[in-house]
Structure 1
Amino acid sequence: MKQISRKQAQRNRQVAEIKKTLSPYCAICGRLMSDAAHLVPKSEYPEHYTNPLNIVGLCRECHNKYDNNLAFRQKQKRLIERVKSFDECAANRYFRL
């Protein structure tokens, strides 16, 4: 098993706490959520890794579409506005507005 730093362990705990507060329903389609998703990717925007506004519950199907399909992502106006509320530049770049 790979060792993680104390800092990463702390971030993982923060994300786990945020997940506990999420609605059990997908933020896009309303079905039962399967996992939490970062609206802007943690790999590109590590400063938002533990930002509660950047984490929503999604079902597996919507999560896959959201991650892999720009056109689908651009249709999610409510989620775009949510990202704009904490980082307008990231929203413009990630959603290619």
Structure 2
Amino acid sequence: MNAGLKQRVKERQGYHCYVCGGQGDDLHHIIHKSQAPELRDYIDNLVFVCRECHNKIHHTPQLDKKLKREYKKHIEQKFLHEKYYTIKEIAEITHMEEDFIEKCIVKRLIKNFAIVEKQVKVKGIDIIRWLLGGKL
């Protein structure tokens, strides 16, 4: 992970733990790297946490699920389920590179897409599913 990304997550949270509000130490991937390695550098998938809470998240399924529910709600505010988005629109909303999104489509990490007016478009629900590591 690049240092700039880590710094942006820390600044976004005011250097406080996302869970308890204490002094943060670690970055936590809400959708685990093993589940969706392509999301490891997606800023919305990262939270800054203290070591104690980081440990709790990994050993308390309820806390892990709570973070995933909050993340899902956040993603669903960005993408409408039934709307189709161009690669450029997805890139603008997620702050990901267009090339990266295209690669995810080619690798079938984003499962469904359509060609509309000579443009690749992806339905919002499929973007949400992808950003949630393949699960809704």
Query: Per the shorter chain, which TM-score range?
Result: 0.5 to 0.7
Matched, 1:81 2:73: yes
- TM-score, reference length from structure 1: 0.65
Max radius of gyration: which structure? 2
Q: Structure 2: which 5+ residue stretches go unaligned?
A: 79-93, 95-126
Q: 1:91 to 1:30 in 2, by over 3 A?
A: farther
Residues 35-50 of structure 1: pairs in structure 2 closer than 5 A? 35-50=26-41
- Describe the shift of the 1:64–1:18 C-alpha distance in structure 2 as closer, same or farther (beyond 3 A): same
How many angstroms apart in 2 are the aligned matches of 1:26 and 1:53?
15
Size of the aligned set, in residue pairs, is 81
2: CA distance between counterparts of 1:83 and 1:68? 25
In proportion to residue count, which structure has more strand? 2
Match of 2:25 in 1: 34
Higher helix share: 1
Aligned-residue sequence identity (percent) comes to 27
Q: Distance in 1 between matches of 2:134 and 2:19?
A: 20
TM-score by length of 2: 0.49
C-alpha RMSD of matched pairs (Å): 2.5
Secondary structure, counterpart of 2:47 in structure 1:
strand
1:20 maps to a residue whose letter is Q
**Quick one: higher RCO (CA 8 Å, sep 6+), 1 or 2?**
1
CA contact (8 A) 1:83 1:91 kept: no
Q: 1:53 aligns with which of 37, 40, 44?
A: 44
Mapped partners of 1:55, 1:29: distance in 2: 16
- Counterpart of 2:25, as a letter, is S
- SS across alignment from 1:20: helix
The answer to whether the Cα contact below 8 Å between 1:42 and 1:49 also exists between their aligned partners in 2 is: yes
Aligned to 1:17: 4
